[in-house]
């Protein structure tokens, strides 16, 4: 989770996100990963924090909960100027969470990809600070076990080591999944590959590789399939060309094949401090020499400060404002057409001194779609509508015209919440779709809530946007109707698309009461399971499982072959994808989720537009599907994986693009 942890930009909160976790007010998201979601939070004193919340599904797993509790215990021991400290945690909560200090700045990976390797005195400062961080970690009996560029943030005053998500005690006590190797290929020590042991010396080995990467911008053991990288690690083939000579000596010792031949983290920190002092004294006058080791690191650190946007605390982001609206309405006993009075009670932009009025669409009678006239009374045609509802007939333009504007406090709360959350959705969709929410109407006898909207995009963009709109509406209604106003009769939401010169038409309807996870919307996406099964869709947890390095030789072989074909195909269509860059294993990866029998393919290259992403996803899905079919045929049906999913991963999380079931080659995407 560190890749999108403390160093990311704040993304808008999503429907269903909490407004508060523990003592922290949640204002948005920093990202998501295999364990859960990282939220941007603010303490009562204004301090910014990163709050990691694990997935509810994982919280129900006693083994995972024990592992998380252990993580909290270990992280609380670690202090020091070059680590990201734990502030608070509740491992026993229904949804466990932990909070750390928010640290602005990119990861080392992000810096190298955008700015290149560290230069001048910065590699020395980096080596000294990260070695000191590991020494502090080891001093309290903890082993990090996942030292890598994604777990180091570059702040304006030096690097910070974070994420002890798979750390364990140096006494050997740990809680991990049986048979699963922890760590990341290329940053795993030889002894861990050979014997599965990971002690402090393993952290030092990874630290040596980390310093080499920071100084050269190259992976010291190269890229490629996990087994290929493992062979290079165990054969000692590190690429250290370009590492400054004074640093190279300590890096070579850290990368020794035998753990006993490596220095301890404390010894490495001391040696790096001497090298750093030499660099600083050469550049500073005698009366300007730094007084402390931390000052020396800051003095030699020449990494420019990254943009650190001010965290806005608007009350109209996420769900916190909507819930407050409902609370005010209930407490004040607002009824009938007094929605305009509620608007005056809403908080404005915090710090801005302005109040944001509610959309008039929810407070006034909506115009009848396509007519320009006010909606007629809902009583007209109710008898016919009731007969239609009893017969299970679908919603239509006629039932939309029969629906009415909100009446009463509860319905006004629903209308405001839907329009607010759809406004957030419009911002999230951005340039990919021109989406404008319209009006909200109610049909009590049919138990339906209607949302009209306008949408302009291409076919794929429309499908994706309408899926997101439907999911957002489902989540909103489950929250406001079922939680705040359970006395309301509604159970179905209906989306009505309005287009210039055409009659309004129903594009979506579903039961938000029975759809507890609001998954039906996602099931109608472009990647719908090709075998017709509605019981499965790829998810964040499965993607997280796929990111765990496999030790199964067949999985490694299939993943390597699939990745090679996808990479070759991707580079062969560079003109279509609009890039001259040759992509490799660092950008396109393959992994497995054993629980759901899924092979995941994901891209971390974020320079494609939507059309290009779809083109790449079609290629990747086809190769993944054919690989699974071929392996199943070769294994005589014993191959356990039958599904595939293609995803894009970025700083704000992930997007599932294509998925399906590998049945025959003829049915694979082309």
Reply yes or no on whether the pLDDT at 156 is more than 70. Answer: yes
Which pLDDT value is given to residue 657?
83
| 455/422 Cα distance (integer angstroms) | 12
Kindly state the percentage of the chain with pLDDT values over 90.
27
Ranking 101-105, 350-354, 452-456 by mean pLDDT, the lowest is 350-354
CB neighbours of 279 closer than 8 A, spacing ≥ 6?
121, 124, 300
- Checking phi first, is residue 271 left (phi over 0); if not, alpha (psi -120 to 50) or beta? alpha
| 522/468 Cα distance (integer angstroms) | 8
Mean pLDDT of the chain: 75
Average pLDDT over residues 638-653: 78
- pLDDT tier at 46 (50, 70, 90 boundaries)? confident
Average pLDDT over residues 566-585: 77
| 147/248 Cα distance (integer angstroms) | 19
Reply yes or no on whether the pLDDT at 335 is more than 60. Answer: no
Which pLDDT value is given to residue 183?
58
- pLDDT tier at 369 (50, 70, 90 boundaries)? very low
Cβ–Cβ < 8 Å for 522, 472: no
Task: Indicate the domain borders of the chain.
Answer: 2-300, 320-369+380-523, 540-667
CB neighbours of 304 closer than 8 A, spacing ≥ 6?
none
Indicate the fold that domain 540-667 takes in CATH. Alpha-Beta Plaits (3.30.70)
pLDDT digits (tens, 9 = 90+) for 416-435: 889 988 888 887 777 778 88
Which pLDDT value is given to residue 610?
60
Average pLDDT over residues 234-262: 93
pLDDT digits (tens, 9 = 90+) for 93-131: 888 999 988 888 888 988 888 889 999 999 999 999 999
User: Does the active-site annotation cover 171?
Assistant: no
Burial annotation 252-264 (CB, 10 A radius, 16+ → b, else e): ebbbbeebeebbb
| 98/72 Cα distance (integer angstroms) | 7
- pLDDT tier at 449 (50, 70, 90 boundaries)? very high
Which pLDDT value is given to residue 243?
96
197: closest CA among 232, 205, 238? 205
* Marked catalytic residue, from 146, 163, 515, 593: 146
Query: Does residue 169 or residue 297 have the better pLDDT?
Result: 297
Q: Which uninterrupted H or E stretch holds 207? A: helix 200-216
Known binding residue 52? Answer is yes
CATH of domain 2-300: 1.10.510.10
Ranking 140-144, 283-287, 390-394, 549-553 by mean pLDDT, the lowest is 283-287
Three-state secondary-structure class, residue 2: helix
Which pLDDT value is given to residue 328?
30
Query: φ, ψ for residue 346 (rounded to 5)?
Result: -75, 145
CB neighbours of 157 closer than 8 A, spacing ≥ 6?
297, 298, 301
CB atoms within 10 A of CB 349: 14
pLDDT digits (tens, 9 = 90+) for 180-236: 445 577 888 999 888 877 789 999 999 999 999 999 999 999 877 777 888 889 888
- pLDDT tier at 494 (50, 70, 90 boundaries)? very high
As a residue count, the chain comes to 670
Ranking 358-362, 437-441, 517-521 by mean pLDDT, the lowest is 358-362
| Distance linking the first and last C-alpha atoms of the chain | 33
- pLDDT tier at 573 (50, 70, 90 boundaries)? confident
Query: Does residue 300 or residue 274 have the better pLDDT?
Result: 274
Query: Does residue 93 or residue 366 have the better pLDDT?
Result: 93
């Amino acid at each position: 989770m560190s890749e999108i942890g403390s160093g990311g930009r704040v993304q808008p909160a999503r429907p269903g996100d909490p407004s508060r976790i523990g003592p922290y007010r949640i204002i948005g998201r920093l990202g998501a990963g295999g364990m859960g979601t990282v939220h941007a939070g603010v303490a009562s004193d204004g301090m910014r924090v990163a709050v990691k919340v694990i997935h509810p599904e994982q919280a129900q797993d006693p083994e995972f909960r024990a592992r998380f509790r252990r993580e909290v215990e270990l992280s609380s021991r670690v202090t020091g100027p070059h680590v990201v400290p734990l502030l608070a945690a509740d491992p026993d909560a229904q949804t466990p969470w932990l909070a750390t200090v928010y640290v602005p700045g990119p990861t080392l990976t992000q810096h190298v990809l955008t700015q290149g390797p560290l230069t001048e005195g910065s590699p020395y400062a980096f080596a000294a600070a990260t070695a000191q961080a590991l020494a502090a970690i080891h001093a309290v009996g903890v082993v990090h076990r996942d030292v890598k560029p994604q777990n180091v943030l570059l702040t304006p005053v030096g690097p910070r080591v974070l994420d002890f998500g798979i750390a364990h005690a140096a006494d050997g006590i740990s809680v991990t999944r049986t048979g699963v190797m922890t760590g990341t290929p290329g940053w795993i020590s030889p002894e861990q590959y050979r014997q599965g042991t990971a002690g402090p010396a393993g952290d030092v080995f990874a630290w040596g590789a980390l310093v080499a990467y920071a100084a050269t911008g190259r992976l010291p053991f190269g890229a490629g399939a996990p087994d290929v990288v493992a062979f290079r690690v165990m054969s000692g083939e590190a690429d250290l060309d370009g590492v400054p000579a004074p640093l190279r000596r300590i890096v070579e010792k850290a990368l020794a094949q035998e753990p006993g031949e490596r220095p301890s983290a404390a010894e490495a920190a001391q040696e790096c401090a001497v090298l750093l002092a030499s660099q600083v004294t050469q550049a500073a006058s005698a009366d300007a020499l730094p007084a402390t080791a931390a000052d020396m690191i800051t003095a030699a650190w020449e990494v420019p400060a990254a943009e650190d946007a001010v965290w806005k605390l608007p009350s109209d982001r996420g769900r916190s404002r909507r819930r407050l609206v409902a609370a005010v309405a209930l407490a004040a006993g607002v009824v009938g057409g007094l929605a305009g009075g509620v608007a005056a009670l809403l908080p404005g932009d915090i710090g801005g001194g302005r109040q944001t009025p509610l959309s008039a669409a929810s407070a006034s009678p909506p115009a009848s779609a396509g007519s320009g006239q006010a909606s007629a009374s809902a009583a007209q045609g109710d008898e016919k509508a009731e007969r239609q509802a009893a017969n299970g007939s679908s919603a239509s333009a006629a039932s939309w015209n029969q629906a009415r504007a909100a009446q009463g406090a509860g319905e006004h709360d629903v209308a405001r919440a839907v329009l607010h959350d759809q406004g957030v959705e419009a911002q999230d969709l951005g340039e990919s779709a021109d989406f404008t929410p319209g009006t909200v109407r109610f049909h009590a006898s049919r138990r339906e809530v209607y949302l009209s909207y306008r949408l302009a995009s291409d076919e794929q963009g429309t499908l994706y946007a309408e899926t997101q709109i439907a999911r957002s509406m489902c989540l909103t209604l489950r929250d406001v109707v079922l939680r705040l106003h359970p006395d309301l009769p509604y159970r179905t939401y209906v989306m009505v698309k309005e287009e210039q010169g055409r009659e309004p038409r129903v594009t979506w309807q579903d039961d938000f009461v029975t759809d507890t996870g609001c998954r039906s919307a996602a099931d109608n996406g472009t990647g719908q399971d090709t075998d017709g099964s509605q019981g499965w869709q790829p998810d964040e947890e499965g993607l997280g499982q796929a990111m765990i390095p496999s030790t199964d030789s067949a999985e490694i072989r299939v993943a390597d072959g699939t990745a090679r074909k996808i990479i070759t195909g991707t580079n062969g269509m560079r003109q279509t994808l609009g890039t001259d860059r040759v992509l490799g294993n660092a950008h396109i990866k393959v992994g497995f989720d054993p629980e759901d029998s899924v092979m995941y393919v994901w891209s971390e290259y974020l320079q494609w537009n939507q059309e290009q992403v779809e083109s790449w996803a079609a290629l990747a899905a086809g190769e993944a599907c054919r690989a699974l079919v071929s392996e199943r045929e070769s294994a005589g049906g014993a191959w356990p994986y039958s599904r595939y999913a293609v995803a894009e991963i970025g700083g704000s999380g992930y997007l599932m693009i294509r998925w399906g079931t590998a049945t025959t080659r003829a049915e694979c995407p082309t």
